[in-house]
Each structure stands twice: as structure tokens, then as C-alpha cells.
Structure 1
Amino acid sequence: MDTKSKIREVALKLFADKGYEQTSLSTIASEVGIKTPSIYAFFKSKEDLFLTISEEVFIHHYEYIRMVSDDLNNETAERKLLTILEEMYNYHLKEETKTNFYRRFMMFSPEGLDGPIKEAFIKSDVLLSSILSEIFTQAIEQNEVRPLEADKLINSYLCLMDGLFLQLFYYSKEPEALERRLRSNWEIYWAGIKKEASVQLKELF
């Protein structure tokens, strides 16, 4: 692993574990095995290093979902959407450091950096929405889901995803509990958007 990659790897873990304010460049340098000034050959400042990692964390999550989606080209919309939720769980359980970083700094952004962090999040959110737009557009054309506005379908799914992500915070050590929550939420969600959804539900939109 080259020095720049090692700096990013060490900084990611320290930021995730200790927070932004409690992580110094000297600590990062010590963990990497270099002198502190050497970091400036790759990053302008601690802020630059932190924001670089932030964007990488968000984009890495998107790229994983894109890979999952691409492997499901011939599946139904129901299978695609459920699998993405399942793989979101798998991703966050497997990528513990990235998940801790994501959770910490989405909830408690360092002072003065909330704007750039939000921009990085929105960028990845737009990319994720593009994947969902493809799925929902095709699903409507193939009469798998009700012909609702794409934005409504995407936003509702993202809210479901965000809610399940929060459950990971409380039940990461209880896989059976996580599975039950995913299944029950998914069943209700899918019942609301599939083509055969009841007339009564339509009135909610």
C-alpha cells in the first residue's frame, strides 16, 4: 500500500473511532510511520484529508449499490429493491469502520465542515437516486408497481433505507432482530407500491 493510501486508511479509522477534533495529524503520522510534515505532500490540511475521506466513504457506498444493482438486471423490481436493502445491511455490517465514520459525522459534523459534508452526502444521494429511478421507471412500464411519480417512489424508498440503517445502530449485534425488522418493513412497503395495492392506499398519494 502506498503512503497516501495508508494515510487515508489510518485517518479513516481514527476519525471514526475518536472524532475529528480528537484526531491530530501527528497521531495519524505516528500510526502511519512517517513524520507529520510528510502528510502535507499529499493533503493540504487535516480538513482536506477529512473531506477527501468523507467523499470516498459516500461514493464507496454508492458504488457498492451500483454493483449490486447491475448484477440484478434480469430480476423483478421486487427482487431488485429487496436485495438492495439486504445488501445495504451486509455492506454496513462488513464495512464497520466506514459505517462508524458515516454515522458519526452525519449526526455530528465537525464545526465549520457541515456544509461540505452535506454536499458530499447529496452527491452520493443523487447517484443512488439515479439507480432507483432506473428501477422504478422500468417497474412502472412493466406494471410491477403503481404509476406514481418517480420522486415519490424514490423518496419513500430512501426513507425506508434510512430507517433500516438506524436500526443497525441498535441491533448490529442481533442479526435475527435486524432480519425481522427488514422483512416486516419491506412487506408493508411493497404492499403499498405494488400494482395490486388497494384503492384505499392510493388516496394517501
Structure 2
Amino acid sequence: MKLNTKERIREAALSIFANKGYEGATMQEIAEAVGINKASIYNHYKGKEDLFFAVYQDVADDYVKLMERVIGDSKDMKLAERLFYIFEEEILYFYRNPESQAFWNQITLFTPDVLREEFWKDLAQRELFFRTQMEALFFQGMEEGIIRRDDPAKLMFTFRAMKEGLLNWMIATPKSEEEWIRAVWKDFWLGFRARSDFEENDEWLNRKTKPRSSKSSPYQEGLDEYKAECLICKKDFQIPFTDFRYKDIKYNRGAFHVCDDCGKTIQDEAQLITGLTPELIDIWERLFPGQKTAQSKKLTKKK
């Protein structure tokens, strides 16, 4: 199907933004790639910021369609097969569309200041479907005894970290084979250790990582910690960039918008009520959104 001028501008802009980023790309360069005058772009877009966000929306729409398809297509698969299918399909899609992956890297790692708030707010909404679906799958695996019991949000983070790491390695490595996906997944799924030597609670695994004394990388400057007000006790608390709840609290400001002390109080009481382990309290809160425990109501009334 023949593209109109507005679509051709976005297509050219995707390639240039993916390779040079927001700051490195110029409207003149995009116009030349389309074969039009620079002034003609402004008939369709207000400026570079507007065009960049339009390209992001195209790429994000394609991502949402991809995830809706793989979630739907895999609904009748067994859990282990389904998780691998989702892992593989997402990697293959971006491996075969490297400009889309490069654009995602540009906008997530080097988010333009002028778009930072708008971008993260939009992305949080788009991610909600995939995140809740995946965390539900991990919870299902725990119930079936296939996956060890842990916080589904942390398992989701690990799943994505493995996927993104392998994908970027495959794109960066000439002639890398798609068979690597299955090989890496096998190591991820089975783990490195021999089964007979497995111990769940190794002491060194439970140690907290010591804080680094070196400065953050430039693109994380200002994102290392975020100050928020607890919804229950109303006190300010800091949440580090490395905490898995960081984006939920900063951009979504949803169910996790409580300090650690109040969160522990809610979890302890929820455990008594439901019989769930602490690792599964997040699932409990999602099953009953917006409901406060008796203790949290008492804390709120005191204020």
C-alpha cells in the first residue's frame, strides 16, 4: 500500500531517530530522506518534538499489537511452553526489525527532556496489559509448583532483563543465530546449578548489594531516587531507581504508593487474613484493588 506524505515522514524519521537519537536528528535530514522541503514537514507536524512522539506512538502501537497477539495465540499452551513462546516471539520481532529496537533503546535510555513526563506516562499505560498478564502467568506457575514462590513483579523484571539483554546482543553480533534464543532460555529456565546441589537459601544470594560510590551514568541523572508521600501515613519516603516499584510509584502512583513501613503493616495483616505468604501479597492486593485493611484505616484516621 502506498504511503501518504505524512506516513512517509514518520517512516524516514523512525530510521533517523533510531540511529541518531532525538538530539542528533535534524528536520532537514528527515526532509531530504523523504524528498520534500523542510518546510513541508511543518504542514503535518508542529516540530521535531511532535514528530518524535508520533513515531513513538507508531512503534508503541505495533508493540501492543505484538503482545496482544502472542498472549492470545499462546492461551492454550502449557505454562512452560507459553512463557518460552512469548520470550521468543518478542525477541524475533525486534531482531527482524532492528530499527524499532534501536528506537526503543533511544527513547528509554536517552529520553528527551521535553518528552520525559509524557512518554513515561503513556508507556506505563501501554505496559499495564502485558505486565499484569505476565505476572498472572508467574503466579499461575507458583500455584502449579512449576515456579518457585517469589514476588511476580521481580520475576517479570528478570524475564525482561534476560529478553532485552539477549536481543541487544543478537542485534550487535554479526550473523548471530536465532537458535541462541532456545539455548539461552534453557539456561534461564533450568538455571546453572546441578539439581542435586540446589539450595534455595544460599547465604550469599540474600546479601544486599553494596551501594556504589561512583556517579550514575548521565541518562540516569536525577532518576536514582524519587521522593513520594505515603498514601497511608502521609510521610515522605525515598524510593531508589533500582527498586522494582520505582516506575509504578513515580509514573503510575497506584497500589504501591506506600512507604516500606506501611507496606509491611498491610502485608502482615493481609497474610493473617488470607493465609498468603509475604511473596504473594502483591497478587492479593491486585485481586482486591482499592480495599484498605482494618489497620490501614486506623492509620488513616489518626491523620
Q: TM-score range by the shorter chain?
A: 0.7 to 0.9
Alignment of 1:168-179 (within 5 A): 168-171=170-173, 173-175=175-177, 178-179=180-181
**TM-score normalized by the length of structure 2:** 0.56
Alignment of 1:163-202 (within 5 A): 163-171=165-173, 173-175=175-177, 178-179=180-181, 180-188=183-191, 200-201=199-200
Alignment of 1:65-76 (within 5 A): 65-76=67-78
1:53 aligned to 2:55? yes
1:40 aligned to 2:39? no
1:18 aligned to 2:20? yes
Letter in 1 for 2:97: E
**Runs of at least 5 residues in structure 2 that lack an aligned partner in the other structure:** 207-278, 280-303
Residue 123 of structure 1 deviates from its aligned partner by 3.3
Q: Which residue of the partner structure matches residue 157 of structure 1?
A: 159
Residue 98 of structure 1 deviates from its aligned partner by 0.7
Residue 96 of structure 1 deviates from its aligned partner by 1.4
Residue 137 of structure 1 deviates from its aligned partner by 4.3
- What secondary structure sits across from 1:175 in the alignment? coil
Q: Which residue of the partner structure matches residue 145 of structure 1?
A: 147
CA-based RMSD of the aligned residues comes to 3.2
| Corresponding pairs, count | 200
Distance 1:172 1:67 in 2: 29
**TM-score normalized by the length of structure 1:** 0.78
Q: Which residue of the partner structure matches residue 195 of structure 1?
A: none
Encode CA deviations 1:108-128: one digit per residue, 9 max, x unaligned: 233443443433443333232
Letter in 1 for 2:132: S
**Runs of at least 5 residues in structure 1 that lack an aligned partner in the other structure:** 192-197
- What secondary structure sits across from 1:19 in the alignment? helix
Q: Which moved more, 1:169-178 or 1:91-100?
A: 169-178
Encode CA deviations 1:66-109: one digit per residue, 9 max, x unaligned: 20121111101111111111112211111111112112332223
Distance 2:133 2:21 in 1: 32
Whether the 8 Å CA contact 2:14–2:103 is kept in 1: the answer is: yes
Larger helix proportion, structure 1 or 2? 1
1:101 aligned to 2:100? no
Q: Which moved more, 1:152-161 or 1:46-55?
A: 152-161
* Percent of aligned positions that are identical: 25
Q: Identify the structure with bigger relative contact order (alpha carbons < 8 Å, sequence gap 6+).
A: 1
Distance 2:185 2:177 in 1: 10
Distance 1:173 1:125, change over 3 A: farther
- What secondary structure sits across from 1:81 in the alignment? helix
Q: Which residue of the partner structure matches residue 84 of structure 1?
A: 86
Distance 1:59 1:32, change over 3 A: same
Q: Which residue of the partner structure matches residue 133 of structure 1?
A: 135
Distance 2:72 2:133 in 1: 9
